[in-house]
Structure 1
Amino acid sequence: MVKFPTRSLKPSQSRSTRQLLDFKGQVFRQHFVVAKTSKGLAKAGPFLLLVQNFLRYAECMAIELIRDNRFGAFFWTQFLGAFNDNLLKFAVTLAVTYNDALRGSFSPGLLINLIAALFILPFVIFSATSGQLADKFDKTKVMRLAKWFEPPIVLITAAGFLLNSVELLILGVFLLGTQSAFFGPAKYAYLPEQLKSSELVMGNALVESATFMAILLGTIAAGSLMSQEAGDVAVYIVCGFGFLVALLGVYQAQRMPLTPSHSPDLKVNWNLFTETWRNVSFATNLPKVWPALLGISWLWFVGATYLTQFPLLSKTLLNASPGVATVLLFAFTVGLGIGAFLCEKWSRKRIEMGLVLWGLVVMILAGVLLHGVLVAYQTNPDQQTVVEFFSQLNNLAVLGLFVLISVGVGLYSVPLYATMQAFAPKESRSRVVSANNIINSFFMVVSAGFAIAILLAMKGEVLWVFTAVTAINVVVLGLWLFKQPYVALRAQLLLKVPGKQLPRIENMDHLGDSGGNLIVFPTLLHENYLQRMAGLPIEMTVVLSGRLKQSRFVNRLRKHGFVLEFSKLSEIDTQKELIKAIASHIQQGRSIAIDKPMFELLRKQYRLDDMPGVLAKKGVVMNVLEFMEEQVQQKVQKSAISQTVWRLNKKEALTASGV
């Protein structure tokens, strides 16, 4: 029997660290035994080890974050709210569809679309006001107040069921949307206030996965409870269960820690129309955030289009039972969760916008394959049950491709939400989120019209809706590549710079502060400039001494201003040129990076410390961010791995009022 050496852990190591290291030892032992057992399994061993390590890693990280009350109480609050919204909304939809006495003279098609529209409408109407309130007051208190309105709304909906009043049911759905509209801006602005920068990606991954899972579970629960076999007792069960879920959400909201306001003196503009316009206009003037908002809105266009067409695909082309539509929805949700957690793993605990492009590539490739499978699909003359659906290879191909598409959606979405939260100004973060909600709602409405137009043009063949989305994804990918070269650079750096070479960054919260940044690294050499660029998740120009070796990649860096090469930095004229370049970047609100020796030289000879004050007189904010680099030894299995840690030291930025 092979004996494996054990190692003792330091008392300072946390329980989660102990669990993770113990797990790695177990996986190593299991992998060794598998490799010794059979030659075939030995070949599969590394893949199994990779999968097991990833799943356990994601599980440890997620559980540790959910157990922390900063995130855990918020996580359950928003999960329960999303579940209740979809439980009640879908229950009302089913009721007006199948209950002739309830809907009266109204057609079911009219009521179904009216319900969908009235749930989205409050996000357009009230998002601007709710964003102001979340910025002016404590975000936690705003969310708590919104949750207190949920139990009465459930009772109004229950009254609509009991009195057979379609008007009360529609009012209940509208109020649910209103309550969500006031909860939303505070929800997304809460995360960057409570989570560390290294936790933000995992937090968003959990929120995204949980939201879609809540949508799925709420829809399934409503469909099961409101089935024709359940009878009138279903109304009591749905409303009673919804009321208990609402109360549990209120309880969880009370456990959330307070989040003090950054703009307590903000004067609320109660004019819904002017404030809505002002919010969206303000967001368009945030160059770091606006592309992310548009990207998130496209995400909701894609998601709404796919999820809405699943029942039609199941009924027509697949000729399957309604349960198959639920299976497709479940598969899409699972894939999105996988993509979100892969994003957390591959982003190396930082906001990695490069994954946006790779997510789009996955969606496009899977969409092209899905088109080929659906075009060649032979519709079964007899309706397929769920069991029969899983017995056919072409059905499994359809299911797998939808999972792959949703994995791409997960990779695409998480960095965009994290970017919006991290780089939106703290004092107006909730209003930026409200602008995002407004644009999302618009894109979701457009998605419905888009699907209807495609179905009418293609005589109801739903596969062309998915194909059209894939075609537009190609256009969106092109826009990201040509309009946002920084995102394309990040996608390339993911392949060029191994994750092991990247540092762990501490105190990264200041990267989203307004103004231009002068970033000071200990060294900036031709050998490590790519690691510097990949390690810091912001767009910046790197100053190098000497010329880089000619290549297509280097030419792209030069073309888009990602590198600034000086042949003779020891000469006075060159140094003056560098000073001008620094001032120009700061005035444009951009970031420029130099090394520590050059920083000290410019401070002594050119009084670089005076530049923030000089620029402040012109209303320009200059942030000086200096990274201290150190090596930390970490033991993983039998070997000790040295990891670089960057500690950010920010000098106080001077503004016009501070001069």
Structure 2
Amino acid sequence: MVKFPTRSLKPSQSRSTRQLLDFKGQVFRQHFVVAKTSKGLAKAGPFLLLVQNFLRYAECMAIELIRDNRFGAFFWTQFLGAFNDNLLKFAVTLAVTYNDALRGSFSPGLLINLIAALFILPFVIFSATSGQLADKFDKTKVMRLAKWLEPPIVLITAAGFLLNSVELLILGVFLLGTQSAFFGPAKYAYLPEQLKSSELVMGNALVESATFMAILLGTIAAGSLMSQEAGDVAVYIVCGFGFLVALLGVYQAQRMPLTPSHSPDLKVNWNLFTETWRNVSFATNLPKVWPALLGISWLWFVGATYLTQFPLLSKTLLNASPGVATVLLFAFTVGLGIGAFLCEKWSRKRIEMGLVLWGLVVMILAGVLLHGVLVAYQTNPDQQTVVEFFSQLNNLAVLGLFVLISVGVGLYSVPLYATMQAFAPKESRSRVVSANNIINSFFMVVSAGFAIAILLAMKGEVLWVFTAVTAINVVVLGLWLFKQPYVALRAQLLLKVPGKQLPRIENMDHLGDSGGNLIVFPTLLHENYLQRMAGLPIEMTVVLSGRLKQSRFVNRLRKHGFVLEFSKLSEIDTQKELIKAIASHIQQGRSIAIDKPMFELLRKQYRLDDMPGVLAKKGVVMNVLEFMEEQVQQKVQKSAISQTVWRLNKREALTASGV
């Protein structure tokens, strides 16, 4: 008999919470008994232990946070809103794809891309203005007002279904996007106002997870309810269900606590164009962040193009039921999750920009294979059901390649988002996120126009839309390789330095600070310089004594300034050159790495400690980041392994005001 360790509940926990946790413990024990009587108990044990540990964590944080009205009401408000948006939008998409009478003389390819564009267009137009309103007024009241708009919008969409009016349906989708555009900025600013710093990570994790599930569930619900066999009954069910969800969202919004404004005197710039341009212009002046923003926007272009074409692909080339479009969407979503998981494992929990290129490579290879499969695809004369779709090998090939493409998208996206968050200035991070939302929305609107143009040129053959995206991915890969040599270097380091050799870095908070960095390693030799470069996820130049062995890889390092080789660092003239190189890198806001002995020598003979103050008088920030290295023993199950740990010590960070 396996005994489960118990945990005493805090007196502050309510009686209902105690009952819930007791019930959950009973359910867990029942599942364990079932697992015990089944085969493979030895394999089930670690999994059950993992589940139990997760439940303990959820008991302490997630359940209590959701039960707290500060977060719980907001949590359900945004979940219901995301669910309803995707329920109605995908229902409209399926209706105009499969209902010839509703579509009229319009082609399905034109309408589904127009719907996608009109849902995103409000984010381009209103994001900057809605952000100002969220800062000027109570964020809770802004969200409540946005939620009150949702029931009438559902009724407009329902009228479009009942009257067979494609114009009303398109208007309803546009209004849904507008409502979401005004809800979004207040949503992201609400959490830091209501949650403690210790609750913020869990709060964001719950919101992101819930949003992901709401999108998936809303889409699946639309695909399931809008079956052709149900006819008009499906329309009544979708509209009634959507209206009920909207009312529940309004109710939850009324339960949210007020969030007073910190900028009540803010003058709102109602000029949509100038305010949008101001936000985007600010982001373009951030050299570490701007490439990541453009990369993220291309991700949304690719994702929007693929997802929007699934209903058309299902109806035309595959000749399948609406449920198959839902299957394709679900598979694409699963692939994204797999890609994100692989990214986390491959990068060893650090920002690894090299995965951006490998993600693109996966997307390109899978896209080429998808083109070959779709060109050779023989369309069935009879419409395929979901069961029939899974019974044919060519269908499984299509499904698997879409999963592989989305795995590449997951690998591509995670490092870009992490870079944006880590290197955006703390005092203006919200403006950077706002600019990112604007650019993303613009790219998604362009993706709809791009798909329409391809479909018109190729007489509605949807496979050429996927092929065109693959071709542009090749161009994007070339731009990353030639315009961002650091990213290409990181991609090569992933192959040259095994993951087991990468250290665990502690105290990484200062890596995103502004200014140039002088990085000090205990040693910096020919034998370990690649490990130093791979272990630290920032662009830097390493200083080495002596020439490296000639190779194409080393030549690229020299060409792009990633290594500085000095023949004799013991000579005074060489040391003076090194001092000049350090000052030049710092003034350009770059990072340069030397070893500990050279650092101590420069401190004694050339008063290196005075450099931050001298540069600060010129308005230049210099950070001195010293790493300590040690081997630690970690227990993994019953064995112990040795792991390298780098501990970061920030020695100096002076600005002009600090002198």
TM-score range, shorter chain: 0.7 to 0.9
Contact 1:25 1:637 in 2 (8 A): no
In the alignment of these two chains, the number of paired residues is 659
* Cα shift readout 1:101-142 (whole Å, capped 9, x = no counterpart): 999999999986665443212211122234556788999998
Instruction: Single out whichever of 382-391 and 56-65 deviates more from structure 2.
Output: 56-65
Q: 1:163 to 1:582 in 2, by over 3 A?
A: same
Partner of 2:515: 515
Partner of 1:256: 256
Q: 1:467 to 1:222 in 2, by over 3 A?
A: same
Q: 1:497 to 1:108 in 2, by over 3 A?
A: closer
* Cα shift readout 1:324-362 (whole Å, capped 9, x = no counterpart): 222222211111111111111111111111111111111
Q: Secondary structure at the match of 1:653?
A: strand
Partner of 1:171: 171
Distance 1:495 1:17 in 2: 50
Contact 2:353 2:487 in 1 (8 A): yes
Distance 2:192 2:414 in 1: 14
Q: Secondary structure at the match of 2:229?
A: helix
Instruction: Single out whichever of 128-137 and 26-35 deviates more from structure 2.
Output: 26-35
Contact 1:314 1:324 in 2 (8 A): yes
Instruction: Single out whichever of 40-49 and 595-604 deviates more from structure 2.
Output: 40-49
Distance 2:545 2:196 in 1: 35
Task: Give the superposition deviation at 1:616.
Answer: 2.0
Instruction: Single out whichever of 542-551 and 40-49 deviates more from structure 2.
Output: 40-49
Q: 1:96 to 1:372 in 2, by over 3 A?
A: closer
Partner of 2:466: 466
Contact 1:295 1:416 in 2 (8 A): yes
Instruction: Single out whichever of 78-87 and 571-580 deviates more from structure 2.
Output: 78-87
Partner of 2:375: 375
Contact 2:98 2:315 in 1 (8 A): no
Q: Secondary structure at the match of 2:182?
A: helix
Distance 1:562 1:265 in 2: 48
Distance 1:646 1:21 in 2: 40
Contact 1:508 1:648 in 2 (8 A): yes
Q: 1:466 to 1:110 in 2, by over 3 A?
A: closer
Instruction: Single out whichever of 264-273 and 124-133 deviates more from structure 2.
Output: 264-273
Task: Give the superposition deviation at 1:35.
Answer: 22
Instruction: Single out whichever of 578-587 and 639-648 deviates more from structure 2.
Output: 639-648
Contact 2:283 2:289 in 1 (8 A): yes
Instruction: Single out whichever of 453-462 and 289-298 deviates more from structure 2.
Output: 453-462
Q: Secondary structure at the match of 1:652?
A: strand
Q: 1:552 to 1:378 in 2, by over 3 A?
A: same
Instruction: Single out whichever of 9-18 and 481-490 deviates more from structure 2.
Output: 9-18
Instruction: Single out whichever of 594-603 and 100-109 deviates more from structure 2.
Output: 100-109
Distance 1:354 1:23 in 2: 46
Q: 1:136 to 1:623 in 2, by over 3 A?
A: farther
Q: 1:289 to 1:205 in 2, by over 3 A?
A: farther
Instruction: Single out whichever of 529-538 and 247-256 deviates more from structure 2.
Output: 247-256
Q: 1:272 to 1:26 in 2, by over 3 A?
A: same
Contact 2:93 2:311 in 1 (8 A): no
* Cα shift readout 1:454-497 (whole Å, capped 9, x = no counterpart): 22222222222211111111111111111111111111111111
Contact 1:201 1:349 in 2 (8 A): no
Instruction: Single out whichever of 192-201 and 378-387 deviates more from structure 2.
Output: 192-201
Instruction: Single out whichever of 247-256 and 13-22 deviates more from structure 2.
Output: 13-22
Task: Give the superposition deviation at 1:638.
Answer: 3.7
Task: Give the superposition deviation at 1:544.
Answer: 1.8
Q: Secondary structure at the match of 1:620?
A: coil
**Amino-acid identity (%):** 100
Consecutive unaligned residues in structure 2, runs of 5 or more: none
Instruction: Single out whichever of 158-167 and 225-234 deviates more from structure 2.
Output: 158-167
Instruction: Single out whichever of 15-24 and 590-599 deviates more from structure 2.
Output: 15-24
Distance 1:644 1:260 in 2: 47
Instruction: Single out whichever of 345-354 and 92-101 deviates more from structure 2.
Output: 92-101
Distance 1:37 1:97 in 2: 49
Instruction: Single out whichever of 2-11 and 133-142 deviates more from structure 2.
Output: 2-11
Q: 1:37 to 1:162 in 2, by over 3 A?
A: closer
* Cα shift readout 1:191-238 (whole Å, capped 9, x = no counterpart): 999999999999999988875654342122124335566577766754
Task: Give the superposition deviation at 1:416.
Answer: 1.1
Instruction: Single out whichever of 123-132 and 367-376 deviates more from structure 2.
Output: 123-132
Q: 1:39 to 1:228 in 2, by over 3 A?
A: closer
Q: Secondary structure at the match of 2:642?
A: strand
Task: Give the superposition deviation at 1:586.
Answer: 1.3
Task: Give the superposition deviation at 1:285.
Answer: 1.5
Task: Give the superposition deviation at 1:290.
Answer: 1.1
Contact 2:226 2:322 in 1 (8 A): no
* Cα shift readout 1:599-634 (whole Å, capped 9, x = no counterpart): 232223222222222222222222222223333321
Q: 1:81 to 1:650 in 2, by over 3 A?
A: farther
Task: Give the superposition deviation at 1:277.
Answer: 0.9
* Cα shift readout 1:299-337 (whole Å, capped 9, x = no counterpart): 111112211222222222222222222222221111111
Contact 1:518 1:625 in 2 (8 A): yes
Q: Secondary structure at the match of 2:653?
A: coil
Instruction: Name the TM-score, length of structure 1 as normaliser.
Output: 0.79
Instruction: Single out whichever of 252-261 and 416-425 deviates more from structure 2.
Output: 252-261
Task: Give the superposition deviation at 1:298.
Answer: 1.2
Distance 1:574 1:198 in 2: 50
* Cα shift readout 1:143-170 (whole Å, capped 9, x = no counterpart): 7886787678667767988999988866
Contact 1:90 1:223 in 2 (8 A): yes
Distance 2:528 2:31 in 1: 35
Q: Secondary structure at the match of 1:10?
A: coil
Distance 2:495 2:184 in 1: 35
Consecutive unaligned residues in structure 1, runs of 5 or more: none
Contact 1:356 1:416 in 2 (8 A): yes
Q: 1:321 to 1:71 in 2, by over 3 A?
A: same
Contact 1:202 1:341 in 2 (8 A): no
Contact 1:135 1:428 in 2 (8 A): no
Contact 1:212 1:333 in 2 (8 A): no
Instruction: Single out whichever of 446-455 and 290-299 deviates more from structure 2.
Output: 446-455
Instruction: Single out whichever of 226-235 and 368-377 deviates more from structure 2.
Output: 226-235
Partner of 2:292: 292
Contact 2:455 2:462 in 1 (8 A): yes
* Cα shift readout 1:570-599 (whole Å, capped 9, x = no counterpart): 222222211111111111111112222322
Q: Secondary structure at the match of 1:230?
A: coil
Instruction: Name the TM-score, length of structure 2 as normaliser.
Output: 0.79
Partner of 1:402: 402
Distance 2:412 2:14 in 1: 32
Contact 2:227 2:322 in 1 (8 A): no
- Cα RMSD of the aligned pairs, angstroms, is 6.4
Distance 1:65 1:110 in 2: 45
Distance 2:12 2:173 in 1: 51
Distance 1:318 1:480 in 2: 35
Instruction: Single out whichever of 384-393 and 185-194 deviates more from structure 2.
Output: 185-194
* Cα shift readout 1:28-83 (whole Å, capped 9, x = no counterpart): 99999999999999999999999999999999999999999999999877655432
Q: Mapping of 1:398-477 within 5 angstroms?
A: 398-477=398-477
* Cα shift readout 1:83-103 (whole Å, capped 9, x = no counterpart): 221113334556788999999
Distance 1:196 1:342 in 2: 31
* Cα shift readout 1:526-585 (whole Å, capped 9, x = no counterpart): 222212111111111112222222222111111111111222222222222111111111
Q: Secondary structure at the match of 1:7?
A: coil
Instruction: Single out whichever of 623-632 and 279-288 deviates more from structure 2.
Output: 623-632
Contact 1:201 1:344 in 2 (8 A): no
